[in-house]
Amino acid sequence: MSVMRSVLLAGSQNAWLRERAPKLPFVRRAVTRFMPGEQLDDMLRAAATLRAQGIPAVYTRLGENVTDPAEADAVATHYHDAIDRVHAQGADCEPSVKLTQLGLDLDVERCAAHVVALAVQAHARGTYLWVDMEQSAYVDRTLAIVGRARAAVPRVGVCLQAYLHRTPADLRAMIREGIGVRLVKGAYAEPADVALPSKADVDAQFFRLAQDMVSDEARRVNFRAVFGTHDTGLISRIRAHAGTVGAPAADCEFHLLYGIQRDAQLALAREGGARVRVLIAYGAYWFPWYMRRLAERPANVWFVAKNLFG
């Protein structure tokens, strides 16, 4: 891992910075590149703009590691309202939740109850519930809760991280259990005994897992294969591979983050065939999430610096 990436990821966990940096006007200006605003209405407006370009969305309200059960309950209520509002507008936007924002650190049973209830409501409204993946210490609990939601309704998916050594086995289990997967490279700082330290190895593992996700076996069970990446070379390789194994282009779905690789988002939408969605994040608690975006591409730090003078 590069020094800059390590420093930025350490900064994402720093309470002093988390308290102060979001108040600085130039940091607030810079973050607008990655999120349309802090309110659900900002997300809905951004989703409408994307929809006009033929791109459906996924949405997430930023926040993690809540320490007050009432806050976790309020997050669940927010998502119930959001699912209803999105449905009322006839928008094609799927929710994606973080379990530590729904109280995973505080009460696993209560968190599971929130996830099952949200999955049931999402299903009733004709949409799909996604569950993000956080640090490696949460993977077992996250997959167990997702399994409970899947036992209640079929439209449930989880994010798996290609950098983790355990992910090939987890992916096989998800395919077997009929749980959709959004495969990503992985955004957190993890030790080498848990995650692949070299980016080249992560990229290679991503492509190997992608092959499993469009295999005959996966397609036989209508597995939902989603690739969450901005790596246009990898996207092309996955699409080419899917073509060679006879997987219809629509069986490969790509999710990208709002504001990143906009040209690739539009190109995927224009080409038809392959499906594309954009994940729109919103909310007041954006600092750790934003620092992870900077860590993914340290050149983004210059963008923040430019806003200091802009």
Structure tokens at 209: 């897992």
Task: Retrieve residue 239's tokens.
Answer: 């699409």
The reply on whether position 300 binds ligand FAD by CB under 6 A is yes
Which span (115-123, 166-174, 213-221, 296-304) binds ligand FAD, by CB under 6 A?
296-304
We find the least distance from the C-beta atom of residue 220 to ligand FAD, in angstroms, to be: 26
Residue type (1 letter), 120: V
190 binds ligand FAD (CB under 6 A): no
Q: Which is nearer to ligand FAD, 70 or 302 (CB)?
A: 302
Q: Which of 187, 213, 280, 304 binds ligand FAD (CB under 6 A)?
A: 187
Per the CB < 8 A criterion, the answer to whether 162 and 190 are in contact is no
Of 143, 252, 257, 280, the one binding ligand FAD (CB under 6 A) is 257
Q: Is there binding between residue 115 and ligand FAD (CB under 6 A)?
A: no
Which span (82-90, 146-154, 208-216, 252-260) binds ligand FAD, by CB under 6 A?
252-260
Q: Interface with ligand FAD includes 97 (CB under 6 A)?
A: no
SS3 182: strand
Q: Contact between 170 and ligand FAD (CB under 6 A)?
A: no
Instruction: Tell me how far, at minimum, the Cβ of 69 lies from ligand FAD, in Å.
Output: 23
Among 228, 239, 288, 290, binds ligand FAD (CB under 6 A): 228
Interface with ligand FAD: number of residues (CB under 6 A): 24
Rounded to 5°, the CA angle 278-180-80 comes to: 65
> Residue 195 carries which DSSP code?
B
CA 104 to chain centroid, in Å, comes to 17
Compute the Cα dihedral for 145, 150, 153, 156 and give only its sign. Answer: positive
Q: Does 45 help bind ligand FAD (rule: CB under 6 A)?
A: no
Q: Which residues pair with 181 in a beta bridge?
A: 158, 225
Integer Cα distance of 32 and 19 in angstroms: 18
Rounded Cα gap, residues 99 and 263, in angstroms: 31
Asked whether position 255 contacts ligand FAD by CB under 6 A, the answer is yes
CB 140 to ligand FAD: min, Å: 16
CA distance 251 to 225: 7
- For residue 96, which of 74, 117, 122 has the smallest C-alpha distance? 122
Please give the positions annotated as active site.
Answer: 132, 182
167 lines the binding site for ligand FAD (CB under 6 A)? no
* Spatial CB neighbours of 99, under 8 Å, sequence gap ≥ 6: 111, 115, 131, 132, 134, 138, 141, 142, 145
Q: Which of 44, 99, 242, 256 binds ligand FAD (CB under 6 A)?
A: 256
CA atoms of 31 and 272, how far apart (whole Å): 30
Residue 61, interface with ligand FAD (CB under 6 A)? no
* Segment contacting ligand FAD by CB under 6 A, of 170-178, 212-220, 267-275, 289-297: 289-297
Query: Which H or E element spans position 161?
Result: strand 156-161
Interface residue with ligand FAD, options 86, 104, 145, 184 (CB under 6 A): 184
Decide: residue 220, CB within 10 A, 0-12 exposed, 13-18 middle, 19+ buried. exposed
Of the listed pieces 141-149, 212-220, 240-248, 250-258, which binds ligand FAD according to CB under 6 A? 250-258
DSSP-assigned beta bridge partners for residue 157: 130, 180
Residues that bind ligand FAD (CB under 6 A): 132-133, 159, 161, 182, 184-188, 228-231, 255-257, 260-261, 279, 293, 296-297, 300
